[in-house]
Amino acid sequence: MQDKHRIQADLDWLINSPDFLSVASVNELHSGNLLNANQLLVNVVGESDSFRFEPTHRLGVYFEQLWHHLIRSNPSYELIRSNQQVIINKQTLGEFDSIIESHHAKETVHCELAVKFYLQIGSGEEMANWVGPNLRDRFDRKFKRLLSHQLALSSKVEVKAWLEQQQLVIDQSALLTRGRLFYAIQNFLNQTYTHPAEVATDHLKGFWATHEEFNSYREQNNFEWYQLPRMYWLSELTENDYPEVKKLGRLNQEQLATIVGMQNGKEVVRGFVVTDEWLQRARQRVLTLD
């Protein structure tokens, strides 16, 4: 269970942190007509008191819970459906993350959500140069599925018929993305932020380093370092979180770790420390065509 302080911090982070993907750039580069779901967060106030945490160890599921709470708390909108699976002839064709009705505009919006974290392997200009920490997730493949499957779900002929049967109408599709890109440490320190055109320029940034690189960097600063559990990857770490996180000791060379540097109780930087084996597999991953 996330505590009240952490939930409040994560709600505020969802409301105020920058887009991960630039909806305007996505529309321009891919001939889309997506709404930026940030419009649904205008004037919203997220309070943790009434938040219903459903136990999960999946960060994406927790992120969806935060979003659904914010929409339910906003009197301008009604959450019609959440995590609505589309099952036709016993076959699951997809899922709508959230279907929202705007009382003011009298429109129904399908909003797709994504919270993503990618590490740079290569120049960084192409989406294929970015992989997730577990290496199963590569940016270009995830983005293609987001556009061609998830956001296009309501436009499929059979799904349109299913929506009519459910007495649902979808007038618009919208996208809300949050996340962070982790740059190779020298690029990060030099502020050489080469990223795909679809990524928002002001996206959140961090670094990744091998154990040797991190140990060298660690000796050059006086930050206090902590290891971040996965459920703490969203908002900045604060002193309120110290009882729940481990102070970073000497890392095992075989350990992949998410870390955060603190100074005077404030988060300064966060990153990943990767193993040599992980790096070898990551380089292979960006070269794989599938």
Sequence ranges of the domains in the chain? 4-181, 182-287
Average pLDDT over residues 153-159: 93
**Dihedral through CA 204, CA 210, CA 212, CA 216, nearest 10?**
-10
> pLDDT-derived band of residue 10, with 50, 70 and 90 as boundaries?
very high
Q: Is the pLDDT score of 97 beyond 90?
A: yes
The per-residue b/e assignment along 262-286, b for 16 or more CB within 10 angstroms, e otherwise, is beeeebebbbbbbbeebeeebeebb
Q: Is the pLDDT score of 119 beyond 80?
A: yes
pLDDT tens per residue across span 12-50: 999 999 999 999 999 999 999 999 999 999 888 888 888
Average pLDDT over residues 198-223: 96
Is the pTM higher than 0.85? yes
Residue 128 · residue 287 · CB < 8 Å: no
Amino acid 148: pLDDT: 93
CA separation for the pair 282, 129 (Å, rounded): 10
**What residue type is assigned to position 21 of the chain?**
L
Nearest C-alpha neighbor of 99 from the set 116, 114, 86, 82? 82
Average pLDDT over residues 207-221: 95
Average pLDDT over residues 105-132: 95
Residue 140 · residue 198 · CB < 8 Å: no
Q: Is the pLDDT score of 69 beyond 90?
A: yes
Amino acid 106: pLDDT: 87
Q: Is the pLDDT score of 233 beyond 70?
A: yes
> pLDDT-derived band of residue 105, with 50, 70 and 90 as boundaries?
confident
- Kindly tell me the burial class for residue 33, based on how many C-beta atoms sit within 10 Å of its own C-beta (0-12, 13-18, 19 or more): exposed
As beta bridge partners, residue 118 has 181
Residue 135 · residue 285 · CB < 8 Å: yes
> pLDDT-derived band of residue 289, with 50, 70 and 90 as boundaries?
low
Amino acid 187: pLDDT: 97
Q: Is the pLDDT score of 2 beyond 80?
A: no
**What residue type is assigned to position 57 of the chain?**
H
CA separation for the pair 137, 183 (Å, rounded): 16
pLDDT tens per residue across span 136-146: 999 999 999 99
Average pLDDT over residues 236-241: 94
CB < 8 Å & 24+ apart, contacts of 38-42 = 38/176, 39/174, 40/71, 40/74, 40/77, 40/100, 40/102, 40/109, 40/111, 40/174, 40/176, 41/14, 41/15, 41/70
